[in-house]
Amino acid sequence: MATDSIRYTVPGLKQDQAGEVVRILQDRLHALNDLALTLKHVHWNVVGPHFIAVHTMLDPQVDGVRGMVDEVAERIATLGGSPSGTPGSLVAERSWDDYSIGRGDAIRHLAALDLVYSGVVEDHRGAIEKTGDLDPVTEDLLTGQSGGLEQYQWFVRAHLESADGTLSHADAGSENSAARSV
């Protein structure tokens, strides 16, 4: 979104600052929309002995992430921007690859999903840092969401962690290598 397309914003925030925050939030909007779709994809494609535990664990995560999507989109609009939530916009503007695993064992999906969560959480933390000096309300929104995302990742990791705290896929650098390592 171009800064000059913001005609108004919230009191106490300059239009150029609002434009920067909107750009940051648009990236987060794409990431959260992608995460919600990925979670649902995993929900539909898990198989194996852990099927029901993982299948039922993911629906509340999908709902929570969809709520985050709405919060981010509404914050963009509040700041005077126009949130873009179309699939074409998401695919054209994202900087990450599509989730790469289809039908598969639940634990393998969780190992891959852990890496997805790591990327989203890291980028959310980066957005918190960038918005901190610009807009404390947005910073607070993203901070709250990060807490939720970290908890969802913990739920995923609980299935992958040994009694000594080691993650079975700790050295994996990609979703596929994470899935293969468990």
> Which token pair is 36?
């919600």
Give residue-wise pLDDT tens across range 109-166.
999 999 999 999 999 999 999 999 999 999 999 999 999 999 999 999 999 999 999 9
Which long-range contacts (C-beta less than 8 Å, at least 24 apart) are formed by 121-128? 121/146, 121/149, 121/150, 121/153, 123/27, 123/28, 123/31, 124/28, 124/31, 124/149, 127/24, 127/25, 127/27, 127/28
Domains plus CATH for the chain?
14-180 (1.20.1260.10)
Positions of E strands within 59-168? 104-105
Give the model's pLDDT for residue 171: 87
DSSP state of 1: -
Distance CA 179, CA 106 (A): 10
Give the model's pLDDT for residue 168: 84
Looking at the chain, the whole-number percentage of residues with pLDDT higher than 70 is 98
Q: Evaluate the CA torsion angle 114, 118, 119, 124 in order and state its sign.
A: positive
Distance CA 182, CA 166 (A): 12
Whether the pLDDT of residue 60 is over 50: the answer is yes
